[in-house]
Amino acid sequence: MKKSWVGHRLVTTPNHLALDGLRILDLSQVAAGPYATMFFGYMGAEVIKLESRSRMDINRGRARPGPNDPRVYTGGVQGERPYDRTAHHIHRNINKLSVTLDLADPKGKELFLGLIKVCDVLVENYRSTVMDRLGLGYDAVSQANPQLIYLKISSQGATGPEANYGSLGSTLEQTAGLASVTGYEDGLPLMTNEVYPDPVVGILSFGALMAALRRRRQTGRGCLVDLSQREVTSMLLGESVLDFSVTGRVAATMGNKHRDMAPQGVYPCSGEDMWVAVSARTDDEWLGLCRAIGQPGLADDARFKDTWSRQANHEALDEIISSWTRGFDHYQVMHLLQAEGVPAGAVLKGSETIVDPHLEARGFWDVVDHPEAGVYKQTTTPWTLSKSRRQPTVPASGLGEHNYQVLGGLLGLSTSEIDALVEQGITGDVPDPSA
């Protein structure tokens, strides 16, 4: 059954969404937590995003940003409610209801615990001790709802000497060791432009919560899920860690090269700043590349007879491949090489990705009409279920947009009671001026 709000009433209609009936209270900010809850929303869960008027999700920015604010706004215009139209916010907080509560206020805490009693999952990614200091840590919320699953996403994990350290994806790439193997030889450690750990942690959090939900189905009890962003990121380095553990060998940066494949790299194509990525792992793939570029005789060239020879003569090989790729656009090269069984992919810019015919054919994009940001394309889920559809994208909510629906519909507060909370500053739909 699908739950939706009509006025102040929560109504139910039939559907086939996989996680229908699941309710998540989402205190998370920035990226990792919002990514996880975004996927739950697509699968049919009811996600209630909870913020404070004085400490909004960082993704929203400031209540009154300055003229040089670096955040991305639609059309470069901040608008009357800039905190409702930042790109990061409207991307990561789709399919969610928005509620505001001051958790430092005793009444706000009381209402929060009331929501805990009617929710299945709590998600937060504050510093390790924040919720405990508020008196709302796992011990407190599990007493209010023993079936609650509490996902605690933190930089370093909930235990250990660095448990209360904070971080962002940009620092985690360094601390977890990822930056040590990215970039070019003899260059500075490089981070990925999209702070790679955050979306990866979000996706893994989705899986961890599904495991906890399965356990609850078996036992009838909730649990604490202690998820370390640093540990997730270090997991990506399994091979390098194992190599050092066994041999003492430290993985080095290789740019676009690879120690086991040749040819391997990106090659220039026709047009300005157009490239294609090519990897040949096996002799069969190498033979396919030779056929594709119209030089089958290269297979008999002693310089390229096997992987080790091709690696030793990588620069000469790159010149041969580049002279061919320059004659075609990057899509053409990809298709010609793939026809011969060679792994290859056009290097797409953002402007190309959003109109890519394959992604369009897969239904990967939704067109969203946001009341503040206007019409834009939104990514959906990177998977489909054959027997269960996904929730079509509902635009990200404005700050506190669903205060009356949630506090009234789930906790039974009257309109006058919620009005009083607004007057006291415990809830509301505009930020605290200092935010």
Exposed / middle / buried, residue 78 (Cβ in 10 Å: 0-12, 13-18, 19+): buried
Q: What is the CATH code of the structural domain delimited by 2-235+361-424?
A: 3.40.50.10540
At residue 11, the pLDDT reads 47
At residue 3, the pLDDT reads 53
Quote the CA–CA distance of 147 and 284 in Å, as a whole number: 55
More confident: 402 or 252: 402
pLDDT of 233 strictly over 50 = yes
Helices 330-339 and 283-292, axial angle in degrees (round to 10): 130
Chosen CATH of 264-347 out of 3.40.50.300, 3.40.1180.10, 3.30.1540.10, 3.30.830.10: 3.30.1540.10
At residue 7, the pLDDT reads 45
At residue 72, the pLDDT reads 87
pLDDT of 331 strictly over 50 = yes
Supply 63's token pair. Answer: 């209540």
Over range 190-197, report the average pLDDT.
72
Q: Are 121 and 142 in contact (CB under 8 A)?
A: no
Over range 335-361, report the average pLDDT.
94
Share of the chain above pLDDT 70, in %: 95
Please, which residues bridge with residue 365 across strands? Answer: 379
At residue 172, the pLDDT reads 78
Exposed / middle / buried, residue 327 (Cβ in 10 Å: 0-12, 13-18, 19+): exposed
Query: Which residues neighbour 223 within 8 Å (Cβ) at sequence distance 6 or greater?
Result: 149, 150, 212, 215, 216
pLDDT of 52 strictly over 70 = yes
pLDDT of 239 strictly over 80 = no
Residue-wise pLDDT for 72-125, tens only, equals: 888 888 888 999 999 889 999 999 999 999 999 999 999 999 999 999 999 999
Residue-wise pLDDT for 132-143, tens only, equals: 999 999 999 999
Nearest to residue 395, comparing CAs of 49, 7, 13?
49
What's phi and psi for 361, nearest 5 deg?
Answer: -65, -30
Clarify whether 306 is annotated catalytic.
no
Supply 378's token pair. Answer: 């939104």
Domain ranges of the chain: 2-235+361-424, 264-347
* Total-model pTM: 0.87
Query: Which residues neighbour 406 within 8 Å (Cβ) at sequence distance 6 or greater?
Result: 48, 97, 99, 115
What's phi and psi for 85, nearest 5 deg?
Answer: -130, 15
pLDDT of 5 strictly over 70 = no
Over range 360-365, report the average pLDDT.
94
Residue-wise pLDDT for 19-37, tens only, equals: 999 999 999 998 889 999 9
Q: Which of 57, 84, 102, 198 is catalytic?
A: 198
pLDDT of 401 strictly over 80 = yes
Share of the chain above pLDDT 90, in %: 60
What's phi and psi for 256, nearest 5 deg?
Answer: -95, 5
